Amino acid sequence: MIVLGISGAVSHDPSAALFIDGKLVAAAEEERFTRDKHAKGCFPYEATRFCLEFAGVRPEDVNVVAFPHAEIPLSSPARWHYAARHWYAPDRALTALFNGNRRHHRNMVQLNKLITDLNIGGGKVRIEAVEHHLAHASSAYHLSGFKEKTAILGIDGKGEYATTFFGYGENGRIHKIKEFYDPDSLGGLYGALTEYLGFEMLDGEFKVMGMAPYGDPKRFDFSRLIEFDERGFKVNTELVNVIGLRRYKDAKGKGYFFSPKLIDWLGPKREGDAIDDPYIDYAASIQNILEEVSLGLIEYYLGDILKDTGKICFAGGVALNVKLNQRIISRPDVKELFVQPAASDAGTAIGAASYVANELGDSIEPMAHAYLGPCYTNEQCIEACEQHAEKPKWERIEQTSLRAAQLLADGNPVAWFQGRMEFGPRALGNRSILGAPNTEGIADRINEQIKYRERWRPFCPSMLDRVAKQMLKSDHPAPYMTFTFDVAEGWAERVPEVVHEDGTARAQIVTPETNPRYYELIEELEKHTGNGVVLNTSLNRRGEPMVCSPTDALNMFFGSDLEYLIMEDVLVTK
């Protein structure tokens, strides 16, 4: 059976994913093709075209389109909860009660237009709508490969109405235990503080997480933001997760998801790139609240399952919070945590398709890797060089990994463009900027001169699987850069450029099976440094999506101070 997953229901991060007989064969985010980060307000035309073309599937041969947004009936507590909590905005409250999902009709119009425009299923294909948080749950559970009873956790801003999901998977079926509804949203709370701290919601949460280790979470009492106990929580909508007239507006009229009362309490909204006082402590405080509330709810709703099997999977935007994930895997009853690498709403294309394919009888294969996007040949890379306006200097090289390792060992950052593009926000060695993590100042150089981002932003170590247990003091799987680990004694001195302020590292463990060329590169670098670790960050500049094509890579190369770009076996230099 051919099932096409289409996301874009919540006006950002549209993507497409294709399953054939239960196997995920292709997935891509629309932003990578349009070069518009998060592709807000769009549907995934280019991503859909790619998935079908890569798999050799004619559009008319698609059997089912799965969409991660469903109608929520009036009998659900979700709409009543939303209406009651938004009494101060009666237009929204009444819409929830009498018209249901605000986005549903618009979504169906856009989805049917895409189906018609691309001739999916001959223009008349079966459409299966999947609740947003069930799609998140399926993207983690069905792709995890876990066979035993598995705890399932989903936390994000919101889907239709749900913001937080607790459930379990057993024998291929997903069962709900408990949901929480908008505006009671941990992801929304974290996003509102992200805006207050001067970053963009849906993009800057990583920055808040990166800022938090510099601050003291005990300096300020943030308890007034949220009431919580082991069974539930309630966000203070006098301060955050606000809509309509309660929103704070800046001088240009832009509205934010916090109120003027938050400004009165904490002071002016942060501006600029410095990690300044008291904002670093605010970041530490909101990170601490996220962790404590989440862990308490996990214990109450999922604790019995964890004590039984120790397996848990996690999706939703908050699943990309690597510090929270470290706290989860440190629980004594957790044997293994699987985080969907595309945990944000882009991953709901995978989730909706896997959920529908499973319901229709396909056996879903575990996710083996996240290299699901386009790839390019040496000839295509050379053609891009020949056609580029900057007329790049290039050469075809042999022993590519050895040559790259020498450049890295000499202290140079290297743009590394290989194989299929990653699906999800993490560069995992195919669309990366690399550096030798023992080279003093390499992180500052990449931040300032190449990425053009905040100097304090941390970098990630990609490491050989045989090195991981030594450096991380753990044998927990970590192929997708979704966890932080405490770095073993002595390693912070060996690879200081990839160790965070708090002594942790957000690691990717590389195996020869999943990425042989990247593995070979790190092995070659190890011969020079003795470490078996490389600094890795995504191949893009601040505010841009990760690069997709050779032309994108060349544009980024000439728009930065990078001096070396390796695309397959083509070395481009300045």
Return the structure tokens found at 483: 């966890």
Closest by Cα among 494, 488, 467 to 478 = 467
Q: Above 90 in pLDDT, residue 101? A: no
Distances, alpha carbon 280 to alpha carbons 196, 219, 323, 416, in Å: 12, 10, 16, 33
Closest by Cα among 481, 238, 489, 236 to 370 = 481
3-state secondary structure of 520: helix
Closest by Cα among 369, 175, 360, 209 to 280 = 209
Q: Give the Cα separation of 11 and 561 in Å (integer).
A: 34
Quick one: average pLDDT of 521-530? 98
Q: At what angle do helices 516-529 and 400-409 cross, to 10 degrees?
A: 40
pTM (whole model) above 0.85: yes
pLDDT digits (tens, 9 = 90+) for 38-88: 999 999 999 999 999 999 999 999 999 999 999 999 999 999 999 999 999
Q: Above 80 in pLDDT, residue 216? A: yes
What is the predicted pLDDT for the residue at 207?
Answer: 93
Catalytic residue set: 12
Domains and CATH numbers, the chain: 378-573 (3.90.870.20)
Q: Above 80 in pLDDT, residue 275? A: no
Return the structure tokens found at 454: 């905040």
| Average predicted confidence (pLDDT) for the chain | 96
Quick one: average pLDDT of 472-492? 97
Centre a 10 Å sphere on the Cβ of residue 41 and count the other Cβ atoms it contains.
Answer: 11
Q: Above 90 in pLDDT, residue 315? A: yes
What is the predicted pLDDT for the residue at 2?
Answer: 98
pLDDT digits (tens, 9 = 90+) for 108-139: 999 999 999 999 999 889 999 999 999 999 99
- Banded pLDDT at 99 (limits 50, 70, 90): confident
What is the predicted pLDDT for the residue at 105?
Answer: 87
What is the predicted pLDDT for the residue at 272?
Answer: 83
Q: Give the Cα separation of 160 and 130 in Å (integer).
A: 11
- Banded pLDDT at 516 (limits 50, 70, 90): very high
